Structure 1
Amino acid sequence: MKKEEVPQDKSSLSSIKMKELCYATDEKGNYTTALSTGWEPKTIALENSIQEVNERIEEANQNVKNGKASPIVYFMEVHKMDWLTLSSYVNMWKWRVKRHAKPSVFNTLTNKILSKYAEAFEISVEELKNFKGN
């Protein structure tokens, strides 16, 4: 797109006085950079993805409250992790981390194992152990 055609739609960036760097072509057809305050389709996509993340966090919270999932699931969603990412952080096999998502298994975990999760979630072991849902 041409430099003068770079979108300047209202977005979440405009509320914090930030602009996004984009590539465009100048009048000679050479690539250059231009600043954009936002682009409506991108803003809509971002808002939809944030809404989906918030819904997953709320679902995980309810599952912890109802005893269907351990706090690991909630904090994993809050930190926008998946099973593979979390397993990398705690240095355990993915199947083992998934197993720890069961409340019955979670309640038997040692403080040593819980401390790996607490460190990954940047909380204390006590916060992890005592989380029952918001």
Structure 2
Amino acid sequence: MLTDNQIEYGKAKVTYSLNEGGRHEHHDCIRMAYEWLDAQKKIKNPTTKTFALKHIIEEWAGRYISTSDVEVAAYLHPEIHGRYPHFNISARLTVPSDSRLSGISEALSQRYRDRFDSSVYSAREPA
């Protein structure tokens, strides 16, 4: 799991894509985005398909996630490259296992899971 020091480093180094650049509520939001990205199948080049990634991630994580959170998580992930929302992940999205949320105190702390839409996913990560 990402440490606070790693997250602070990423926040200082990432180039934000939106004017909201640097809008973060909690380090756990970056941890949840990192776990979601980690579960996705990586491809050679950034996808050209546009997803509302932050919304998809927050529905899985059960908590608000900013675009900036996703950008920092992607920056810190050694296998992810590209610019939000065009990262090198397959367009056939994978629902991450809920076990990835274990130990993240902010996970499922808001009602975003109520909006979870499984139709955006093509696969499910084994538990």
TM range, smaller chain:
under 0.3
Larger Rg: 1
Higher relative contact order (CA closer than 8 Å, sequence separation 6+) = 2
TM, length-normalised to structure 1: 0.26
